[in-house]
Amino acid sequence: MIIPERYSRQALVSEIGEAGQKAIRQSRVVVIGLGALGSNIANILARAGVGSLCLVDRDFVDWTNLQRQGLYEEEDAANSLPKAVAAKNRLARINSEVDYEVIVDDVNSGNVEKIISGATVVLDGLDNFYTRALINEACVKMGIPWIYGGCIATYGSTATFVPGITPCFNCLFPGVSGHTSPFTCDTVGVLGPIAFMVAAWEASEALKILVGKQDQVSR
């Protein structure tokens, strides 16, 4: 396989190389939640040339999203397009070589295993702990790495979970699945740049996993 010119600057990075670029190309990435984090993560990983990208969100683009959700445009908000559809439309113009799968639905105990099946890595762009706990349970069971992320106001956090290598989400935050915070971006807002920073961190952790450097994820 010859590395296409569009990925040459990435394949030149010594930690990636041609072998890493081929591995990225053969990956299946699932992004759950396409808001502040997920939309920006999907943008980075589509440009990086993942093989297939599954875009999952039950929500619709609105005007409050445009400040920080880097895939969406005014027309998407005006038409209240499903985020997964708007994201795919934009990403297909950015990198048509990626196979996109669109799921306009919430993630629940009935569909989570099917959605993440065959994933090389799962990325969290969610806004609640209940669904993250579901993802954790399924990922641990199926041996799939996943990357947690959250942001609000001026701060954010991420953690990378690789079954067999790192602790899991439930080890880090035991019993958090019933937790709801009174602080959401609807009540205290969120700075645009923090969404991009946390998304960039999650995407870089994903790239480590995609190129087989699971032992180098952030602990």
Residues with catalytic roles: 185
In the complex, least distance from residue 170 CB atom to Zn ion, rounded to whole angstroms: 5
**Of 94 and 171, which has the nearer Cβ to Zn ion?**
171
Q: What is the spatial order of strands in the sheet that 155-161 belongs to?
A: 99-103, 52-56, 28-32, 121-124, 146-152, 155-161
In the complex, least distance from residue 131 CB atom to Zn ion, rounded to whole angstroms: 17
The beta-strand segments (E) located in the chain are: 28-32, 52-56, 99-103, 121-124, 146-152, 155-161
In the complex, least distance from residue 135 CB atom to Zn ion, rounded to whole angstroms: 13
Query: Which two tokens mark 83?
Result: 């985020």
CA pair distance 142, 116, nearest whole angstrom: 9
Binding site for Zn ion (CB under 5 A): 168, 170-171
**Of 89 and 177, which has the nearer Cβ to Zn ion?**
177
Q: Nearest to residue 121, comparing CAs of 188, 202, 4, 33?
A: 202
Q: How many CB atoms lie within 10 A of CB 98?
A: 21
In the complex, least distance from residue 202 CB atom to Zn ion, rounded to whole angstroms: 20
**Of 78 and 171, which has the nearer Cβ to Zn ion?**
171
Q: Residues with Cβ < 8 Å from 158, sequence gap 6 or more?
A: 147, 148, 149, 150, 198, 201, 202, 205, 218
CA pair distance 165, 214, nearest whole angstrom: 8
**Of 135 and 203, which has the nearer Cβ to Zn ion?**
135
